[in-house]
Chains A and B, each alone.
Chain A
Amino acid sequence: MSAPVRIQEADFSQDEEIAALKAGSKRMGGIATFLGCARDFSEGRDVHEISFEAYGSMALAEMNKLRNEAIEKFSLLDARIVHRVTTVRAGDNIVFIAAAAEHRAAAFDGCRWMIDELKQRVPIWKKEITPQGESWVTPHP
């Protein structure tokens, strides 16, 4: 079975991630997921591709820490975080986060917290490739 926290070039399957999550416990009453995908328009410009770069070892360590903190903070039964680091086109998957809990509130809260924290804490950068040229993305709140 794949690791619950991964950085990879290849696309991921939400069904497989959810199946892996469910395999761990039959006490789950709710699984909340977040799927981040590439937009074809940003800051008034068409975007053809988005290229990702990561400080791999630190990013993976921080994502593992983040998952452990989320499990503790929201009493989750399990959680998964997968982030692609490659060049993606509009519509492609970028990041998948899932939080499983006994009840929906903790699952929603844990999922939201993990994607918000990931954006703040995990050393990954994205560059948008547009007809006007390339530019690194300034973080969104």
Chain B
Amino acid sequence: MIKVLFFGPIADRVESREMQLEFTPGMTLHDVVSHLGMQYPGAFGLVSFIAVNQTQVHDKQTLLHDGDEIAFMAKFSGG
């Protein structure tokens, strides 16, 4: 399974903080982004950063592995 996390305004728009996706071999970050982006276009318009296993990832062709954790994040506003 792939664990997907949403934070801040993105979580509000998805109306969920966490979901699980079925892992399939060869799955890329792009697959997850396009799948969820279609379901939640309003939320994905706010995504500024994506992390896989707590590390920011810029390449959407990144290959995923079973058990990975993906986080979709809006611009940070801490401090």
- Give the contacting residue for A120; candidates B5, B7, B76; CB below 8 A: B76
CA of A106 to CA of B70 in the docked complex: distance in angstroms?
A: 37
How many residue pairs bridge A and B at CB < 8 Å? 69
Given A58-B71, A123-B49, A123-B73, residue A136 in contact with residue B78 (CB < 8 A): no
Which of A55, A61, A121, A138 touches B77 (beta carbons < 8 Å)?
A138
Across-interface contacts of B8 in A (CB, < 8 A): 53, 125, 127, 136
State whether the Cβ of A111 lies closer than 8 Å to any Cβ in chain B: no
Q: Is the CB of A136 within 8 A of B76?
A: no
**B55-79 Cβ-contact flags toward A at 8 Å (1 or 0):** 1000000000000000101111111
Partner of B76 from A57, A61, A119 at Cβ < 8 Å: A119
| Contact of B73 (CB < 8 Å), options: A52, A55, A94, A137 | A55
Q: Is the interface of A mostly helix, strand, loop or mixed?
A: mixed
What class of interface size applies to chain B in its complex with A? 10 to 19
Cα-based distance from A95 to B76 in the complex (angstroms): 15
Shortest Cβ distance from B77 into A: residue:
A137
Interface size class of A (residues with CB under 8 A): 20 to 34
What residues of A have a CB within 8 angstroms of the CB of B49 in the complex?
123
Contacts of A125 in B (CB 8 A): 7-9, 74, 76-78
Residue in B5, B11, B75 whose Cβ sees the most chain A Cβ within 10 Å: B75
A-B CB contact pairs (8 Å), 10 listed: A36-B79, A54-B7, A55-B5, A55-B51, A58-B55, A95-B79, A123-B7, A124-B77, A139-B75, A139-B76
Interface residues of A (CB under 8 A from B): 36, 52-55, 57-59, 61, 83, 94-95, 115, 118-127, 136-139
